[in-house]
Structure 1
Amino acid sequence: MLKSKSAGVTLFQSDLYETNSLVVETVECVLVVDPCWLPREVEEIRLYVENILAGRRLLLLFTHSDYDHIIGYGAFKEAEVIASRAFAGKSEEERKAIIEDLRTFDDNYYLRRPYETNYPAVDHIIEQDGQRLVFGDMVLTGYVAPGHTDDGLFTLVEPLGLFIAGDYLSDVEFPYIYDNSRSYEQTLGKLELILANHAITLLVPGHGEVADSLPEISRRKAAGLAYIDNLRTAIAEGKQEDIERLIDGCAFPRNMAKFHRSNRELIEKELAETAGET
């Protein structure tokens, strides 16, 4: 799984969906982000952390509550958990549905995990843009990031200049919108403020390759906004060919067509609701 290691940031990437997990080190802390997917992959990350921890404070950050991103929680039960207010505030019914998705995945592939699969208990909550959490020499600044899900979180790790984006700003995925397309646009709109207030040297998305330059980060933002705007326009104008053309050339078309169709259905519903209000 080990994909890269530099300047206190170790990147692991799963064989499934190019999903990224991180281990971030400072003198006083070790931060683990979204450990996933397969049992042996989670174990590889756990053993790596065990070998380097050396008595430092162990933190565990979840970018959002999609089951693939919380699937490794049980392997790090001694860690202090960080997440958004919306993540921590999920109802019991919502938590059970997420864990059911997780367990269904494991059942489908006969996967056995050496730890319990439960919804994470959150110790440190980020609930507003620009909120800082200080853990010794590691400072985390959070920005709430709804749109993909309603509980997403952008996190900046200083002094490393690391931007943890969750399921946004991917080079392999167009926007997957499970929550709200307008919220997704507003979340991407926060990049201007983030880039103005933080010296970013590395952006890590939930899936795909990292971005290590501001032009590339800006390109991904523009591509995401253009996809949503063009899809909304094509739906409003009833242009089926334009809708289908939006994912021409995507990396994994047989799978990604499902997410594109889901986006279409969500935006159709949003447009119908807006028309009903007027």
Structure 2
Amino acid sequence: MIVWKDEHVTLFRSVLYETISSVIVTEDCVIVVDPCWLPHEVEEIKQYVETVKENRPLYLLFTHSDYDHIIGYGAFPEAKVIASASFANKKLEEKEAIVEEIKAFDDEYYITRNYNIVYPKVDLPIKSEEESLLLGNTTLTFFQAPGHNDDGMFTLIQPLGILIAGDYFSDIEFPYIYFNSKRYEESILKLDYMLNNYRIKILVTGHGNPTRHVSNMKKRQQDSLQYIEQMRKWVREENEEEIKRIIAGCRFPRNMKKSHQQNKRLFQRELGTETT
């Protein structure tokens, strides 16, 4: 599963949706980000953590609450959990619905796991913008990032210069917008502030490939902004041909067209052009 490894960062890629789980090792702690998907994949991540952990405290960092990103939670019962306050404070029925998505996935493919499927209990909820958590000489700084869903969060890990972006800035996906397109724009525009005020050496996205190049980070940002701008224009004008053309050439068209259509319906709702 390992697709990237340096002194501090190891990235594991699932065979499903090129989903990335990260293990970050500092002198102060070990941080596991979004462990997923399949049981043997979660086990591989867990075994790797056991080889590098030594006496360091273990933290689980969740970028957002989509079920594919929390599916490995139960495999790390000793870890303290970090997530946004919005993630922690979801209503009980919302948490139950997310857990049901995991169970439905496992049932569909006859999957069994050696840990319980439950919604993560958050030990360290992040409530504010640019809030920092000090773990010895390691500093985690958080930025609220709603848009893709309602509880996303960016995390900067210093002094290593790691930006954990969740389901933003992917090099294989256009914006998947489940919550709000304007909030999505506001979230990805925070990259400018982070680049101006922090040293970012690597951006890790939830699906696809990381990047060390600022120019590529900015390109991904601009591509996402352009997608949203074009979708607003063509949905407002009900131009189906142009709506289809926006994702021409996407890598996995049979599946991605479904997400594009979901986005179209979201823009219709936001613009008040939805028809019954």
Take 1:31 and 1:273, find their aligned partners in 2: how far apart are those partners? 44
Indicate how the Cα distance of structure 1 residues 273 and 125 shifts in structure 2: closer, same or farther if over 3 A, else same.
farther
Q: Which consecutive residues of structure 2, in runs of 5 or more, have no partner in the other structure?
A: none
Aligned equivalent of 2:101:
101
Cα deviation for residue 4 of structure 1 reads: 1.6
Q: What secondary structure is seen at the aligned counterpart in 2 of 1:166? A: coil
Take 1:128 and 1:262, find their aligned partners in 2: how far apart are those partners? 30
Q: What secondary structure is seen at the aligned counterpart in 1 of 2:272? A: helix
Structure 1 outlier segments of 4+, above 2 Å: none
Q: Which amino acid aligns with 1:184?
A: Y
Cα deviation for residue 7 of structure 1 reads: 2.7
Cα deviation for residue 68 of structure 1 reads: 0.3
Take 1:72 and 1:189, find their aligned partners in 2: how far apart are those partners? 30
Q: Which amino acid aligns with 1:24?
A: I
Contact kept in structure 2, 1:142 and 1:154, CA below 8 Å:
yes
Aligned equivalent of 2:204:
204
Aligned equivalent of 2:180:
180
Cα deviation for residue 128 of structure 1 reads: 1.8
Contact kept in structure 2, 1:8 and 1:24, CA below 8 Å:
yes
Aligned equivalent of 1:128:
128
Cα deviation for residue 52 of structure 1 reads: 1.2
1:124-273 matched pairs, under 5 angstroms = 124-272=124-272
Write out per-residue CA displacement over residues 36-87 of structure 1, whole angstroms, 9 at most, x where no aligned residue.
Answer: 0000000000011011111111011000000000000000110010000100
Contact kept in structure 2, 1:29 and 1:137, CA below 8 Å:
no
Take 2:235 and 2:273, find their aligned partners in 1: how far apart are those partners? 14
Q: What secondary structure is seen at the aligned counterpart in 2 of 1:221? A: helix
Take 1:238 and 1:97, find their aligned partners in 2: how far apart are those partners? 33
Cα deviation for residue 273 of structure 1 reads: 8.1
Take 2:96 and 2:189, find their aligned partners in 1: how far apart are those partners? 32
Take 1:238 and 1:67, find their aligned partners in 2: how far apart are those partners? 33
Identity of aligned residues (%): 53
Take 1:169 and 1:7, find their aligned partners in 2: how far apart are those partners? 24
Write out per-residue CA displacement over residues 12-36 of structure 1, whole angstroms, 9 at most, x where no aligned residue.
Answer: 0000000000000111200000000
Take 1:232 and 1:74, find their aligned partners in 2: how far apart are those partners? 40
Take 2:77 and 2:273, find their aligned partners in 1: how far apart are those partners? 43
Take 1:216 and 1:239, find their aligned partners in 2: how far apart are those partners? 30
Q: What secondary structure is seen at the aligned counterpart in 2 of 1:190? A: helix
Take 1:88 and 1:197, find their aligned partners in 2: how far apart are those partners? 28
Contact kept in structure 1, 2:236 and 2:273, CA below 8 Å:
no
Take 1:30 and 1:170, find their aligned partners in 2: how far apart are those partners? 24
Take 1:74 and 1:138, find their aligned partners in 2: how far apart are those partners? 25
Q: Which amino acid aligns with 2:111?
A: L
Aligned length: 274
Aligned equivalent of 1:66:
66
Write out per-residue CA displacement over residues 157-188 of structure 1, whole angstroms, 9 at most, x where no aligned residue.
Answer: 01110000000000000000000001001111
1:79-98 matched pairs, under 5 angstroms = 79-98=79-98
Length-normalised TM-score, structure 1: 0.97
Take 2:107 and 2:190, find their aligned partners in 1: how far apart are those partners? 39
Q: Which amino acid aligns with 1:178?
A: Y
Q: Which amino acid aligns with 2:45?
A: I
Q: What secondary structure is seen at the aligned counterpart in 1 of 2:165? A: strand
Length-normalised TM-score, structure 2: 0.98
Contact kept in structure 2, 1:87 and 1:151, CA below 8 Å:
yes
Take 1:128 and 1:247, find their aligned partners in 2: how far apart are those partners? 35
Q: What secondary structure is seen at the aligned counterpart in 2 of 1:141? A: strand
Write out per-residue CA displacement over residues 103-141 of structure 1, whole angstroms, 9 at most, x where no aligned residue.
Answer: 000001111100001000001111222100011122100
